[in-house]
Amino acid sequence: MHLNMLKCKIHRATVTHAELNYEGSIAIDGNLLDAAGMREYEQIHAWNISNGERFVTYALRAEEGSGIISVNGSAARRVSTGDLLIIAAFAGLSEAELAKYQPDLVYVDADNRITHTNHSIPKQAA
């Protein structure tokens, strides 16, 4: 059996561009892609914290250090510049792989610069 597990995420990335007339995808600063372990053309899920919209597309590499998070094509209708996104990718893992499994979590500031990384999400308190 394979389980679909969170592979990685970029938490609270700020949308810098919404380009409706561009081939669909999200262009992501290459430094963020590398830190999260996301690959160009990998399927990603995006959850808009600012308005509740959710969509699936694929990642494109933007210039390293640019801070770019550009939501393109039809997905551009689901965001506005300045919105906050969680961008995540998933992987199918076997039971054996789960023994060593840890997601790569990347946290960014308002300029999409990495503030810290982690491999677990703190337990939610009541």
> Is 22 a known active-site residue?
no
What is the CATH number for 105? 2.40.40.20
In the numeric block, which tokens belong to residue 69? Answer: 């998070």
What integer pLDDT is reported at residue 82 of this predicted model? 98
What is the longest distance spanned by two Cα atoms in the chain?
A: 45
Establish whether 37 is an annotated binding residue.
no
* Residue 75 marked as a ligand binder: yes
**Annotated binding residue at 73?**
yes
Per the structure, the count of domains in the chain is: 1
Q: Percent helix, strand and coil across the chain, each rounded to 5?
A: 15, 50, 40
Task: Check residue 125 and give its pLDDT.
Answer: 83
The answer to the question of residue 17 being in a domain is: yes
Query: Looking at 58, 66, 101, 107, which residue is catalytic?
Result: 58
* pLDDT reported for residue 122: 85
Has residue 39 been placed in a domain? yes
Residue 82 lies in a domain: yes
Residue 76: the pLDDT is 96
pLDDT value, residue 23: 81
- The residue range of the domain holding 83 is 1-116
Any catalytic annotation for residue 25?
yes
Going by their DSSP bridges, the two strands 17-19 and 54-62 should be labelled as unpaired
**What confidence category does residue 17 fall into, taking pLDDT thresholds of 50, 70 and 90?**
very high
**Which pLDDT belongs to residue 78?**
97
Whether the per-residue pLDDT at 24 is higher than 80: the answer is no
How does pLDDT run across 104-124, given as a tens digit for each residue? 999 999 999 999 999 998 888
Q: Strand pairing of 54-62 and 25-29?
A: parallel
Enter the pTM of the model.
0.95
pLDDT digits (tens, 9 = 90+) for 41-100: 999 999 999 999 999 999 999 999 999 999 999 999 999 999 999 999 999 999 999 999
